[in-house]
């Protein structure tokens, strides 16, 4: 089962509250959620950046070369 980014962000928020109210011993739980959220955001941003770049011209769109 794969968790959505929204699920992970909610888990991270809850884990942060656990650390705040129950102590630093729960920090590894928060850290795991935080790292996964960052990893997913990074992957999503990288994919979006790649798709937003202009595509190179195809050979038929290029002007003919004059020799």
One digit per residue, pLDDT tens: the chain, 67 residues?
Answer: 789 999 999 999 999 999 999 999 999 999 999 999 999 999 999 999 999 977 666 555 666 666 6
> pTM (2 decimals)?
0.69
Is 67 part of any domain? no
Residue 17, domain member (yes or no): yes
Query: Which tokens sit at 60?
Result: 């038929």
Answer yes or no: are the C-beta atoms of 18 and 29 closer than 8 Å.
yes
Range of the domain at 14: 5-50
Q: Looking at the domain assignment, is residue 44 inside a domain?
A: yes
CA distance linking residue 33 with residue 30, whole number of Å = 5
Distance CA 36, CA 38 (A): 5
Residue 66 falls inside a structural domain: no
């Amino acid at each position: 089962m794969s968790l959505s980014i929204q699920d992970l962000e909610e888990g991270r928020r809850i884990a942060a509250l656990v650390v705040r109210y129950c102590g630093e011993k729960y920090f590894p739980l928060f850290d795991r959620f935080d790292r996964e959220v960052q990893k997913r955001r990074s992957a999503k941003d990288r994919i979006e950046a790649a798709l937003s770049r202009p595509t190179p011209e195809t050979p038929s769109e290029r002007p003919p070369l004059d020799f």
